Amino acid sequence: MKPSSLTLRRSIDIFIKVLSIVASLVGIVFLIWILWDVVTKGITALDINFFTKRTGPFTIADTGMANAIVGTLYITLLATVIGVPIGLLGGIYLSEFGRNHPVSTVVRFFANILMGTPSILIGIFVYAVIVLPMSGFSGFSGGVALAIIMLPVVVRTTEDILILVPNELRESALALGSPHWKMITQIVFRAARAGLITGVILAIARVSGETAPLLFTAFNNSHFTYYDAESPLRYIYDMSKPTANLTVTIFNYAMTPYEQWQKQAWAGSLLITGAILVISVIARAFFSGGKTRRG
Amino acid sequence: MDETTTKARTNKADLFFNGLTLVCAIAVILVMLAIGIELFRNSTLSMQEFGWKFLTDRSWNPVLKEFGAASSIYGTIVSTIIAMLIAAPMGIIIALFLVELSHPIVSKIVGSAIELLAAIPSIIFGMWGLFVFVPIMQTKVEPWLQSTLGFLPLFQGIIMGVDFLTAGIILALMILPFVTAVTRDVLNMVPPVLKEAGYGTGATMWEVLKHISIPYGVRGIVGAMFLGLGRAIGETMAVTFVIGNSHEISSSLFSSGNSIASTIALEFGEALNDPLFKSVLIQLGLILFLITFIFQLIAQLWIRQLKKHERS
């Protein structure tokens, strides 16, 4: 180390300390600033119409995003139904059956790379393999795109959490004559329940805010894609048609110069951001609660 | 007799379950490969038409069917570099605050606040950037930069607000939580004994960080940077709003441009009925795929090496 005066070393140290406090403040200021704008700008258009009326031309005052809200729920639900079971089972393989198998190393490797793949490319991929052959945008393809984004996250989270379960639990179950599948689904899963639920919820929250993969898959639609309002099946959404969703509607609205639409885009932002933040915070709290109970 | 059948059934069930989980695990590999293959297959038209010069061609005219990737690649690189120049040092220094300086409770609160930033959807960053941040950049920050540093080509030209600099700053905000979290974990892993030894010799906190903590965790921090870089390169919605979407290459950070992802997001809709245009955009996607793949690959190998290093 170069010899330098104590005052100089101390001043550098104080300078760095101040800098690190300032940098942290800057990070927090931006967080509060963004949230503040989303809340104050969004709250003005977040009325009852927003939840009950469907999207429409900017010239009509009482339009809302009801169809987009329902569409987002459906697409996210579909993504969950596809992505979570496959992800859980894949994670089980990595943690239980093939922990040290070469296949697992490759799977982990590809899962990490898939997690880092830009989501818009997954949109193009689903466009090429589902939208083109089915000759049309569909809510279904949007759900598949989100499921692909969710898959590696659920696989890795499941593995990370199952590995924490002590081996003694597995051994005692097997010693009692339980088959592997029973040991995993009834013993290991139960021990890891809090962590698994948290991981899955965080993965769902994360994909529900995605926009890019839905641009060329679910696309958008200013109508509810019900089969028929008269039919008893009317609560089944027609996922084979272009499906309105919050994020793409926000994108389309925000890019226009029309004030009415921009306002609604802010309201949509408030809804989706609020939902994601609340769900994430609750999920985290649940996990830490689970941990303290166990420990 | 009865016992053996139960046993056989159990084995069969286990075999089935084992196979099922294996198939699901392998699905990850198959999806990843399929993405690469499909992007390649769907960009053949563009490859045949333009060949390798696509990578260096600056033209972009959907009407005349002249396409080149140069401006998109340039914009992607410039916005990513700005984002990394801001997010990397800031992430390290915030991690320093969280690990060394602050009270554990403060550290927990600030840490969770930064992590919350990561939960905000990217479209919100984009929209907020366009409606709130761009006007500030346009009327306050950029005129000030131009008047003080205007002699540099970086800060010349007409100030629009939607440009590389704004895009880079918004990107930096988006990857900051990620870089901070990983660096914090790395700094937390430095053995206290090493740091105490440093303090014992009379070193200041900064000296301990510079000479002990960072060298100890340098490989992990570099890995974190690579992962952050991979995210910044492919980020779509936030950049699309604030980069300006022009197909020009300019040395000025105040000039509007485009990134690969923003061009795909904005122009794919127009290209649906034009096979060549669509193929061009998918080829841009293929380029983005290869770039992120390589960065992720390097990061993965680097981190694997790191883990081996730690074990030995």
pLDDT value, residue A295: 32
Per-residue pLDDT 10s for chain B (312 aa) are: 455 556 666 688 888 999 999 999 999 999 999 999 999 999 998 888 888 888 888 888 888 888 888 999 999 999 999 999 999 999 988 998 888 888 888 888 888 888 888 889 999 999 999 999 999 998 888 888 888 887 887 888 888 888 899 999 999 999 998 889 888 888 888 888 988 898 899 888 888 888 888 888 888 888 888 888 888 898 999 999 999 888 888 888 888 889 999 999 988 888 888 889 999 999 999 999 999 999 888 888 887 777 777 666
Q: Tell me which residue in A38, A90, A216 faces B124 most closely, judged by beta carbons.
A: A38
Q: How confident is the model at residue A227 (pLDDT cuts 50, 70, 90)?
A: very low
CB pair distance less than 8 Å for A212 and B236: yes
Q: How confident is the model at residue A293 (pLDDT cuts 50, 70, 90)?
A: very low
pLDDT surpassing 90 at residue A110? yes
pLDDT value, residue B231: 85
Helix (H, G, I), strand (E, B) or coil at B60: strand
Nearest 5 degrees, angle CA A115-CA A116-CA A117?
A: 95
B225: left (phi over 0), alpha (psi -120 to 50) or beta: alpha
pLDDT value, residue B206: 85
pLDDT value, residue A294: 40
Are A112 and A47 within 8 A, CB to CB?
no
**Ramachandran angles phi, psi of A240, nearest 5°:** -90, 0
CB pair distance less than 8 Å for A209 and B122: yes
The end-to-end CA distance of chain A, in Å, is 45
What is the average per-residue pLDDT within A282-289? 76
Q: Per CATH, is B52-311 categorized as 1.10.3720.10?
A: yes
Range list of H helices, B204-274? 205-208, 214-234, 237-242, 260-271
The token duo for A78 is: 């579909």
Tens digit of each residue's pLDDT (9 = 90 or more) over A200-220: 998 999 899 999 999 988 887
Interface of B with A in 246-265 (CB under 8 A): 261, 264-265
Interface of B with A in 166-185 (CB under 8 A): 173, 176, 180
Question: What is d(CA B175, CA B187) in angstroms, rounded to the nearest whole number?
Answer: 18
Task: Count contacts between A and B (CB, < 8 Å).
Answer: 250
Are B306 and B223 within 8 A, CB to CB?
yes
pLDDT value, residue B5: 58
Q: Look up the ipTM and state it.
A: 0.89
Are B194 and B216 within 8 A, CB to CB?
yes
Cβ partners under 8 Å of residue B291, min gap 6: B76, B233
Tens digit of each residue's pLDDT (9 = 90 or more) over A55-68: 777 777 778 888 88
Please name the helix (run of DSSP H) or strand (run of DSSP E) that holds residue B67, with its range, or none.
strand B66-67
Of A205, A217, A169, A257, nearest to A84 (Cα)?
A205
Tokens 């920050």 -> residue = B141
The domains of chain A, with CATH numbers, are 66-294 (1.10.3720.10)
pLDDT value, residue A114: 93
pLDDT value, residue B88: 92
Q: What percent of chain A has pLDDT over 70?
A: 90
Residue B59 at interface with chain A, using a CB cutoff of 8 Å: no
Tens digit of each residue's pLDDT (9 = 90 or more) over A239-265: 777 888 899 999 988 888 888 888 889
Question: What is d(CA B182, CA A184) in angstroms, rounded to the nearest whole number?
Answer: 31
Residue A203 at interface with chain B, using a CB cutoff of 8 Å: no
The token duo for B189 is: 């892993």
Are A193 and A130 within 8 A, CB to CB?
no
